[in-house]
């Protein structure tokens, strides 16, 4: 066998190794129920949960607690996943900017034994970002109104 | 009035550029197929004329769009969405690349210019190379065509010349006012209003455009059966492309470091990977292209890598622009409905390339003897393969969202997500790959320049290895590097720096234009050391040790005893906090005035709502110079708030940093750090939270109920966690903004206020009698959150009354990181690019390269 072939085989072996590592590292999108089950099997496995902040009828966020003067590194809130389950979430960092405005929220972390979801990372989906260049009728209206003043 | 002409001209020119690209493809193709030289010449002549018209049309398209942006024709969707009246000239150019159509246009523009250069420089290869070129241009111009095919109702491309009413026909405003023109545009994303963003995209797209050149030569070579000759003209272009693309990537990295708050210059974001992967593969291709003469393995690898580079550029464009990364990346473009078109583009060239490669594979030369372990080609081949491996790992993980889509297409529900900690995932694999690359670059250079031979075996490298070992021991102890993989990376990088420097010195004595390779390899190793320290030993310096923060929830705070929990430090206005070697004081919110250097207290200005002007509320001076008079109107960036943070070291030397919050109407709040550069490290600081700005409650402070107290001089009051002592009450003769008559009087009370950490403040409320009326203006101290009024004087008892309201003290939360030796990253990358350009120069000069 030629040296290049041997090297080729080694490279393929390494590539397979990389694929295996990636498969091991890859996370999954789950609901809280599934997150709980995964956490029981492997407490270190991190998952992605997609959900929305719990809000009351007036659109006010319910169950959020953050007091920078007391502890700047602790944010508590409640998220409802796509299957409807609500869960307490704790994020050990300051409240992300535009947190309240988010229409969808992706939590990366794991469920703890006390049924509280601890997340390391939050991705926010804010509405404005996905409507590039859209003018709403009322923004033009206010502009017109302003012009007349 | 709606300026319809300019848009129609622009659109017409887009169509002309598309048609000319198509015709040029056809004519060049005819030239390659022509039976005799005369016919071929005629076709080439025609094709050249068409391609020149194409270039002119492309320039015309770009100019039309610029006219629209420059003149603020907001009836056009592109101008409305990406520009505004507030935009200074330099950023009007940036408007081009905020939108997808504009960035395609930029790409088209570069490629049209490159095409003309190739046409002139290398007529021997012109017909086949330009066939590929013109075909690529056809696909690219189709992206901005904006034509709807009749009957089948198929939209091709997205035109930048759409009127607002064409782009958004559903708005109710059109039925009332068909000729409605918005008064102002939505503006350029303020995050992109940065000088790096003016030059980063053109550089990056020039890099992308340049990857087409080697690819076009390769296809031409395979097609015309010049299986090795294509490499010679392609190599300088490949080197140039790698240099430019690399610079473009590093500019983006530096922009991210300065502007985004993820704590570094590289985040392994899919968008970043998408430009880095083709660069890695291109570097691999360059290596094998140098070694093709004596090794068929190198030739074959070159073919594969050059094809991969070009296809990967298209693939990354597809990833970023199809919206497929939507859930995975923060900064991908929105879907313009071009994903299908992009996919066809990519697959066409993939198919063409594979077709030619397979067709010629059997005819490629075969090695007569096996590659020896002391041959240059052997080491180059291994090096290129490992670069390929690195690229493979990056693209394999980055493509995870694509697997979900593919599975979906087959009706399978797949919900794999990117690794939870991407940085950790990529780093733990890439560290070993780059460890190998650093080591190989040293060995490879020694072999290449004949320093290692069968007769010497590997002895010439012993010295470098010994010195590297000594230095590693030193650095491990000094820098407290105790992670095995880091120690190994440190050793190999040092080894590589030393070995390659030896070669560099040896070559400088010989001929300077040979030093490219050694220089780039030194650069890589230096960069690796910089990455190792700045990322591996990046340290949070804003550790929250203030006992105060723990006060209420001691149990919860200590329970999660991880460091993450305490990485953010609260800072109260005017009160210092110790952070590593510095006493940090938050001194207030600041604003920038356009055209004036520095930052000015925001409270001295009233920003006109919905506008980009502000009125000075008082005379503002800086360094003794009058900047603005009370009542002046100034141009500002109203979305930006800067926080003055004073860093004072033990010797009392102080420097101020101005991290930024940008309340960005296009994408929500963006947080930018400010960086204090020092030789050995950077201090990187950002405001992770400004509760007042975040709540948009900046408007009104919440004051507590009024508390009245009556005290004598020397008495103490407890206000808002502060101790206030009434020191003195005295008559004053003048009051700001008021003229006192002979019968008027003003009395000032002087409180000294002490904070928990013995910081001192003062409160000085006034009691004024003017024209028989009593005035008691409130004295507000922002630092302490106290508002105090001097309400009464009782001359008999010598007592004084005060009314006090308190509010939450102004507080921000900061995070600060120390990044040791980050300068090595920039120095190393500059060496790499210089090396690439030196090598390009050499390959252009001396065709009979080794």
Q: Out of B175-184, B477-486, B549-558, which region has the weakest mean confidence (pLDDT)? A: B549-558
Q: What is the mean pLDDT of residues B681-695?
A: 81
Write down the pLDDT at residue A146.
30
The answer to whether the CB atoms of A4 and B297 lie below 8 A apart is yes
Which residues of chain B neighbour A128 with C-beta distances below 8 Å? 665-668
Whole-number percent of chain B with pLDDT over 70: 93
Among B188, B206, B236, give the residue marking a domain's end: B188
Domain count, chain B: 3
Cα–Cα distance for residue pair B731/B734, rounded to 1 Å: 9
Q: Is residue A21 part of a domain?
A: no
Cα–Cα distance for residue pair B585/B757, rounded to 1 Å: 13
Task: For chain B, give the mean pLDDT.
Answer: 86
B793 in the same domain as B689:
no
Cα–Cα distance for residue pair B719/B733, rounded to 1 Å: 29
Task: Give the closest-approach CA distance of A1 to chain B in angstroms.
Answer: 10
Q: What is the mean pLDDT of residues B370-379?
A: 82
- The CA distances from residue B159 to B103, B146, B625, in Å, are 12, 4, 50
Q: Is residue B387 part of a domain?
A: no
Q: Is residue B224 part of a domain?
A: no
Write down the pLDDT at residue A144.
31
Interface membership of A130 toward B (CB under 8 Å): yes
Examine the pLDDT at B550 and tell me if it is beyond 80: no
**B65-119 confidence digits (pLDDT tens):** 999 999 999 999 999 888 888 888 888 888 888 888 898 999 999 999 999 999 9
Measured in whole angstroms, the distance separating CA B469 from the mean position of its chain's CA atoms is 36
Q: Is residue B701 very low, low, confident or very high in pLDDT (cuts 50, 70, 90)?
A: low
CA triplet B169, B174, B177: central angle to 5 degrees?
A: 160
Write down the pLDDT at residue B700.
54
Write down the pLDDT at residue B561.
43
Which pTM was predicted?
Answer: 0.87
Q: Is residue A138 part of a domain?
A: no
- B241, B213 Cβ separation under 8 angstroms: yes
Cross-strand pairs, B716 = B725
Q: Is residue B338 part of a domain?
A: no
**Phi/psi at B120 (5° precision):** -75, -40
Examine the pLDDT at B13 and tell me if it is beyond 90: yes
Write down the pLDDT at residue A14.
92
Q: Is residue A2 part of a domain?
A: no
B742 in the same domain as B607:
no
Nearest to B841 by CA among B546, B515, B529, B558: B515
What letters, b where the CB count within 10 A reaches 16 and e where it falls short, cover B182-191? bebbbbbbbb
Cα–Cα distance for residue pair B214/B473, rounded to 1 Å: 44
Q: Is residue A126 part of a domain?
A: yes
Examine the pLDDT at B676 and tell me if it is beyond 90: no
Q: Is residue B716 part of a domain?
A: yes
B799 in the same domain as B687:
no
Which residues of chain B neighbour A101 with C-beta distances below 8 Å? 668
Among B161, B188, B215, give the residue marking a domain's end: B188
Examine the pLDDT at B54 and tell me if it is beyond 60: yes
Write down the pLDDT at residue B826.
95
Q: In A, residues 22-61, which contact B (CB 8 Å cutoff)?
A: 22, 25-30, 46-48, 50
Which residues of chain A neighbour B80 with C-beta distances below 8 Å? 133, 135
B122 in the same domain as B23:
yes
Tokens of B456: 């010497």
Q: Is residue A86 part of a domain?
A: yes
Domain count, chain A: 1
pLDDT in tens, chain A (149 residues): 677 788 889 989 999 999 999 888 888 888 899 889 988 888 888 888 988 888 888 778 888 888 777 777 788 999 998 888 999 999 888 887 778 777 788 888 889 888 899 888 887 766 543 333 334 333 333 333 333 33
Tokens of B269: 């974001």
**Which one of A104, A132, A136 would you mutate to disrupt binding with B, by most B Cβ within 10 Å of its Cβ?**
A132
Q: Is residue B802 part of a domain?
A: yes
| pLDDT, greater one: B430 or B602 | B430
Q: What is the mean pLDDT of residues B223-243?
A: 94
Q: Is residue B754 part of a domain?
A: yes
B687 in the same domain as B731:
no
Tokens of B727: 């020191």
Question: Ranked by mean pLDDT, which of B222-231, B589-598, B644-653 comes out on top?
Answer: B222-231
Examine the pLDDT at B552 and tell me if it is beyond 50: no
Interface membership of B418 toward A (CB under 8 Å): yes
Q: Is residue A14 part of a domain?
A: no
Interface membership of A128 toward B (CB under 8 Å): yes
Write down the pLDDT at residue B699.
45
Interface membership of B543 toward A (CB under 8 Å): no
Q: Is residue B597 part of a domain?
A: yes
B181 in the same domain as B39:
yes
Identify the closest residue of chain B to A2 by CA–CA distance.
B370
Q: In B, residues 375-404, which contact A (CB 8 Å cutoff)?
A: 378, 381-382, 385, 388-389, 392-393, 396-397, 400
Write down the pLDDT at residue B781.
82
Tokens of B527: 């960069």
Pairing of strands B786-794, B799-806: antiparallel
DSSP B191: G
Write down the pLDDT at residue B19.
96
**B790-823 confidence digits (pLDDT tens):** 988 888 888 899 998 888 778 888 888 889 999 9
B573 in the same domain as B647:
yes
**B307-347 confidence digits (pLDDT tens):** 999 999 999 888 888 777 765 555 545 666 788 889 999 99
**B289-298 confidence digits (pLDDT tens):** 998 888 888 8
Task: Give the closest-approach CA distance of A8 to chain B in angstroms.
Answer: 9
Among B157, B188, B219, give the residue marking a domain's end: B188
**B769-792 confidence digits (pLDDT tens):** 888 788 888 888 877 888 899 988
**B506-527 confidence digits (pLDDT tens):** 998 888 888 999 999 999 999 9
CATH assignment of the domain containing A80:
2.40.50.140
Examine the pLDDT at B563 and tell me if it is beyond 60: no
Write down the pLDDT at residue B776.
87
Q: Is residue B448 part of a domain?
A: no
Which residues of chain A neighbour B814 with C-beta distances below 8 Å? none
Question: Ranked by mean pLDDT, which of A106-110, A137-141, B270-274, B467-471 comes out on top?
Answer: B467-471
Name the one residue in this structure whose structure tokens are 């956490």: A39
Interface membership of B336 toward A (CB under 8 Å): no
The answer to whether the CB atoms of B416 and A4 lie below 8 A apart is no
**Which one of A1, A50, A69, A89 would you mutate to disrupt binding with B, by most B Cβ within 10 Å of its Cβ?**
A69
Which residues of chain B neighbour A93 with C-beta distances below 8 Å? 564, 567-568, 688
Q: Is residue A107 part of a domain?
A: yes
* Structural domain of B122: 1-188
DSSP for B334-401, written as a single string: PP-S-HHHHHHHHHHHHHHHHHHHHHHHTTS---SSPPPTTSHHHHHHHHHHHHHHHHHHHHHHHTHH
B182 in the same domain as B78:
yes
Identify the closest residue of chain A to B661 by CA–CA distance.
A97
* Structural domain of A56: 28-132
Which residues of chain A neighbour B567 with C-beta distances below 8 Å? 73, 93
B158 in the same domain as B109:
yes
Tokens of B178: 């068909």
Q: In B, residues 691-730, which contact A (CB 8 Å cutoff)?
A: 691, 694
B711 in the same domain as B691:
no
Q: In B, residues 645-664, which contact A (CB 8 Å cutoff)?
A: 661
Q: What is the interface pTM, i.e. ipTM, of the complex?
A: 0.79
Write down the pLDDT at residue B17.
97
Pairing of strands A117-125, A86-91: parallel
Write down the pLDDT at residue B657.
92
Whole-number percent of chain B with pLDDT over 90: 41
| pLDDT, greater one: B553 or B723 | B723
């Amino acid at each position: 066998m030629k040296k290049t072939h041997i090297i080729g085989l080694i490279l393929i072996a390494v590539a397979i190794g990389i694929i295996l590592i990636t498969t091991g590292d890859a996370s999954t999108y789950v609901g809280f129920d599934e997150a709980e089950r995964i956490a029981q099997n492997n407490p270190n496995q991190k998952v992605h949960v997609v959900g929305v902040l719990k809000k009351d009828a007036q659109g006010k966020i319910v169950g959020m607690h953050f007091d920078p003067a007391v502890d700047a590194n602790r944010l508590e809130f409640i998220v409802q996943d796509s299957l409807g389950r609500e869960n307490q979430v704790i994020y050990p960092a300051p409240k992300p900017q535009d947190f309240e405005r988010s229409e969808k929220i992706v939590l990366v972390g794991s469920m703890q034994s006390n049924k509280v979801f601890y997340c390391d990372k939050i991705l926010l989906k804010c509405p404005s970002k996905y409507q590039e260049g859209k003018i709403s009728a009322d923004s033009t209206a206010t502009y017109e109104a302003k012009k007349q003043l | 009035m709606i300026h319809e002409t300019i848009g129609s001209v622009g659109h017409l020119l887009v169509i002309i550029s598309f048609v000319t690209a198509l015709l040029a493809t056809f004519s060049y193709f005819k030239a390659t197929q022509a039976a005799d030289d005369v016919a071929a010449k005629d076709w080439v002549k025609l094709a050249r004329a068409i391609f020149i018209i194409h270039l002119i049309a492309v320039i015309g398209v770009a100019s039309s769009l610029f006219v629209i942006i420059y003149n603020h024709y907001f009836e056009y969707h592109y101008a409305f969405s990406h520009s505004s009246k507030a935009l200074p000239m330099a950023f009007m150019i940036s408007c081009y690349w905020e939108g997808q159509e504009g960035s395609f246009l930029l790409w088209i523009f570069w490629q049209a210019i490159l095409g003309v250069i190739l046409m002139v420089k290398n007529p021997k290869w012109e017909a086949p190379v330009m066939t590929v070129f013109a075909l690529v241009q056809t696909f690219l111009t189709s992206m901005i065509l904006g034509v709807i095919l009749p009957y089948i109702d198929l939209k091709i491309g997205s035109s930048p010349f759409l009127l607002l009413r064409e782009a958004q026909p559903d708005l109710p405003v059109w039925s009332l006012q068909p000729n409605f023109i918005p008064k102002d545009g939505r503006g350029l994303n303020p995050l992109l209003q940065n000088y790096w963003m003016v030059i980063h995209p053109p550089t990056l797209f020039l890099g992308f455009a340049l990857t087409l050149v080697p690819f076009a030569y390769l296809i031409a070579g395979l097609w015309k059966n010049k299986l090795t000759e294509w490499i010679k003209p392609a190599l300088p272009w490949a080197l140039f492309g790698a240099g430019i693309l690399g610079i473009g990537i590093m500019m983006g990295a530096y922009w991210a470091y300065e502007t985004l708050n993820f704590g570094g210059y590289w985040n392994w974001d899919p968008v970043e990977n998408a430009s880095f992967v083709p660069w890695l593969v291109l570097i691999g291709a360059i290596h094998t292209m140098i070694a093709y003469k004596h090794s068929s393995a190198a030739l074959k690898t070159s073919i594969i890598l050059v094809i991969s580079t070009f296809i990967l550029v298209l693939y990354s464009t597809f990833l970023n622009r199809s919206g497929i990364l939507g859930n995975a990346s923060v900064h991908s473009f929105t879907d313009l409905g071009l994903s299908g078109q992009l996919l066809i583009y990519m697959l066409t060239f993939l198919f063409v390339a594979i077709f030619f490669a397979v067709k010629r594979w059997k005819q490629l030369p075969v090695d007569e003897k096996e590659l020896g372990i002391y041959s240059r080609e052997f080491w180059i081949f291994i090096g290129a393969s490992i670069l390929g491996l690195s690229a493979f790992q990056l693209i394999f993980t980055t493509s995870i969202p694509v697997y979900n889509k593919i599975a979906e297409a087959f009706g399978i529900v797949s919900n794999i997500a990117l690794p939870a900690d991407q940085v950790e995932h990529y780093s733990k694999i890439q560290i070993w790959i780059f460890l190998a690359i650093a080591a190989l670059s040293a060995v490879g250079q020694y072999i290449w320049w004949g320093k290692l031979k069968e007769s010497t075996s590997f002895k010439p490298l012993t010295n470098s290895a010994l010195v590297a070992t000594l230095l590693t021991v030193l650095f491990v102890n000094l820098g407290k590097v105790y992670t095995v993989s880091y120690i190994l990376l440190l050793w190999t990088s040092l080894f590589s720096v030393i070995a390659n420097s030896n070669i560099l010195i040896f070559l400088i004595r010989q001929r300077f234009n040979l030093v490219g390779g050694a220089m780039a390899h030194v650069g890589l190793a230096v960069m690796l050391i910089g990455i190792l320290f700045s990322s591996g030993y990046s340290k949070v310096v804003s550790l929250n040790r203030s006992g105060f923060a723990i006060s209420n929830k001691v149990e919860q705070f200590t329970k999660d005893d991880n460091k993450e929990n305490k990485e953010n430090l609260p800072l109260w206005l005017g009160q210092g906090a110790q952070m590593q070697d510095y006493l940090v004081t938050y001194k207030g919110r600041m604003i920038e005035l356009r055209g004036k250097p520095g930052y000015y207290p925001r409270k001295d200005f009233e920003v006109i709502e919905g506008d980009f002007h502000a009125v000075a509320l008082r005379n503002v001076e800086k360094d003794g110079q009058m900047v603005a008079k009370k009542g002046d109107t100034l141009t500002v960036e109203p979305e930006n708030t800067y926080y003055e943070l004073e860093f004072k070291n033990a010797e009392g030397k102080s420097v101020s940093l101005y991290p930024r919050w940008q309340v960005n109407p296009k994408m929500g709040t963006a947080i930018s750090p400010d960086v204090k550069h020092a030789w050995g490290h950077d201090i990187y600081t950002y405001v992770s939270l400004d509760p007042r700005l975040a709540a948009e409650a900046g408007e009104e402070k919440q004051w507590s109920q009024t508390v009245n107290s009556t005290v004598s001089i020397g008495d103490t009051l407890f206000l808002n966690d502060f101790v206030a002592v009434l020191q003195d009450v005295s008559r004053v003769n003048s009051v700001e903004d008021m003229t006192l008559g002979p019968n008027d009087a003003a009395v000032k009370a002087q409180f000294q206020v002490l904070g928990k950490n013995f910081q001192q403040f003062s409160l000085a409320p006034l009691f004024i009698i003017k024209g028989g009326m009593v005035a008691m203006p409130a004295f507000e101290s922002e630092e302490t959150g106290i508002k105090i009024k001097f309400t009464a004087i009782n001359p008999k008892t010598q007592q004084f009354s005060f009314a006090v309201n308190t509010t939450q003290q102004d507080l921000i939360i900061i995070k600060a990181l120390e990044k040791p030796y980050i300068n090595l990253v920039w120095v190393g990358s500059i060496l790499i690019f210089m090396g690439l350009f030196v090598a390009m120069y050499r390959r252009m000069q001396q065709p009979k390269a080794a």
